[in-house]
């Protein structure tokens, strides 16, 4: 068995295009490149080969300021990557164990989607992704309400109906509203917002334009009495609706309930296969009875945790790896 590291961006693109069959919109190389162009971390794809050819590949990036290897393109913040369910290629399912054992000493891989029948001692539960499958509801939003107690669902509907007396209008793909979303996020979360990082902010803007150019974008803006109350940025790809980013105006309490119901209603009407609200232990995701899906984490033995990644360690040079 031979292990090598590919650090040429052009060769990494060829490997990505050759071995990955996109399931999610974030599996598209061009989508990932939107963020790489601003973070500029060194791609470092790990290849495992035997006499039959390539048996496994992990798309990694080397984050030099943390001295860590993470999934490409390395848009990491506070020990977390933003992109989820990054694909890994293995010719056989058992090859994944060998692939992980070949990772560099300081590797942290987050939000991995594993097949239901796969078990691995090398991986631990990371977080839950929160999803909804409209077909399980028969594409009938009224059946979604049956997941709640009658009292709870009635209170949600009451909040939504309270906006009926206001002039509410939805707008779609008004690209200038991305700046409003950014503003809302920064006002609500401040330095804790991913969008506080200019690289992530610019990468997200480029991602939006890429999605728009390819007719995948769903940027939803809600105006109430002529004022933008909420903006959500999502994408529909191969029947999967992913809601990536969102922001609300605090002057409109509980307006997020109206947006959430809009997304779910849209997915039922369009008969989409899945809505992905991503990870994040936000209390509302549990209250809304979304379907939690476990995602997994791989942490190399010598890496105790992302929080201590930069303490007391001599940085490892990518050049020291066997690369091409």
Which of 45-49, 114-118, 159-163 has the largest mean confidence?
45-49
pLDDT of residue 308: 44
Percent of the chain topping pLDDT 90 = 76
Where do the structural domains in the chain lie, given as residue ranges?
2-127+296-320, 134-272
Is pLDDT at 318 greater than 70 in this prediction? Answer: no
Q: What is the mean pLDDT of residues 174-193?
A: 95
Q: What is the pLDDT of residue 45?
A: 98
pLDDT digit string, tens, across residues 222-250: 999 999 999 999 999 999 999 999 999 99
Residue 34 in this model has a pLDDT that exceeds 90: yes
Q: What is the mean pLDDT of residues 171-182?
A: 98
Instruction: Give the HSE-up count for residue 211: Cα atoms under 13 Å, Cβ half-sphere.
Output: 28
Reference 36, options 60, 18, 11; nearest CA is: 60
Kindly compute the dihedral angle of the four CA atoms of residues 315, 76, 299, 96, in this order, to the nearest 10 degrees.
Answer: -110
Percent above pLDDT 70 for the chain: 93
Which pLDDT value is given to residue 324?
Answer: 42
pLDDT tens, 281-299? 678 898 899 999 999 999 9
State residue 122's pLDDT score: 82
Best-predicted range by mean pLDDT (106-115, 140-149, 205-214, 285-294): 205-214
Q: Which two tokens stand for residue 212?
A: 């728009």
Residue 312 has pLDDT above 50, yes or no: no
Instruction: Output the six-digit token pair for 281.
Output: 């232990």
**Angstrom distance (rounded) from CA 24 to CA 57:** 18
How far apart CA 58 and CA 314 sit, in angstroms, is 24
Query: Residue 21 to residues 24, 121, 271: CA-CA distances in angstroms?
Result: 9, 26, 23
CATH number of 134-272: 3.40.630.30
* pLDDT of res. 319: 53
pLDDT of res. 44: 98
pLDDT reported for residue 179: 98
| Cβ proximity of 131 and 241 under 8 Å | no
Residues making up the chain, counted from first to last: 324
Write the pLDDT tens digit of every residue in 52-106. Answer: 999 999 999 999 999 999 999 999 887 789 999 999 999 988 889 899 999 999 9
Residue 313 has pLDDT above 80, yes or no: no
């Amino acid at each position: 068995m031979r292990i090598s590291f590919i650090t040429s961006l052009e060769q990494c693109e060829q490997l990505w295009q050759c071995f990955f069959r996109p399931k999610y919109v974030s599996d598209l190389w061009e989508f990932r490149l939107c963020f790489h162009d601003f973070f500029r971390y060194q791609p470092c794809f790990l290849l495992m080969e035997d006499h039959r050819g390539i048996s496994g590949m992990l798309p990694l990036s080397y984050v030099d300021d943390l001295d860590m290897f993470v999934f490409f393109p390395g848009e990491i913040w506070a020990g977390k990557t933003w992109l989820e369910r990054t694909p890994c290629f293995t010719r056989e399912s058992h090859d994944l164990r060998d692939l992980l054992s070949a990772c560099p000493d300081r590797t942290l891989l987050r939000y991995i989607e594993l097949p239901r029948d796969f078990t691995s001692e090398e991986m631990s539960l990371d977080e839950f992704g929160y999803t909804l499958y409209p077909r399980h509801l028969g594409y009938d939003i009224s059946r979604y309400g049956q997941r709640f107690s009658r009292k709870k669902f009635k209170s949600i509907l009451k909040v939504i109906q309270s906006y009926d007396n206001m002039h509410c209008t939805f707008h779609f793909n008004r690209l200038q509203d991305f700046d409003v979303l950014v503003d809302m996020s920064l006002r609500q979360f401040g330095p804790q917002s991913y969008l506080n990082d200019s690289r992530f902010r610019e990468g997200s803007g480029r991602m939006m334009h890429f999605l728009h150019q390819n007719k995948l974008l769903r940027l939803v803006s809600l105006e109430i009495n002529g004022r933008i109350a909420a903006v959500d940025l999502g994408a529909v790809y191969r029947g999967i609706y992913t809601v990536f980013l969102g922001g609300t105006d605090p002057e409109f309490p509980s307006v997020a309930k109206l947006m959430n119901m809009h997304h779910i209603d849209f997915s039922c009407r369009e008969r989409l296969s899945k809505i992905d609200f991503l990870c994040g232990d936000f209390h509302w995701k549990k209250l809304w009875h979304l379907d939690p899906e476990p995602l997994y984490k791989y942490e190399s033995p010598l890496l105790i945790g992302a929080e201590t990644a930069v303490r007391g360690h001599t940085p490892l040079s990518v050049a020291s790896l066997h690369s091409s």
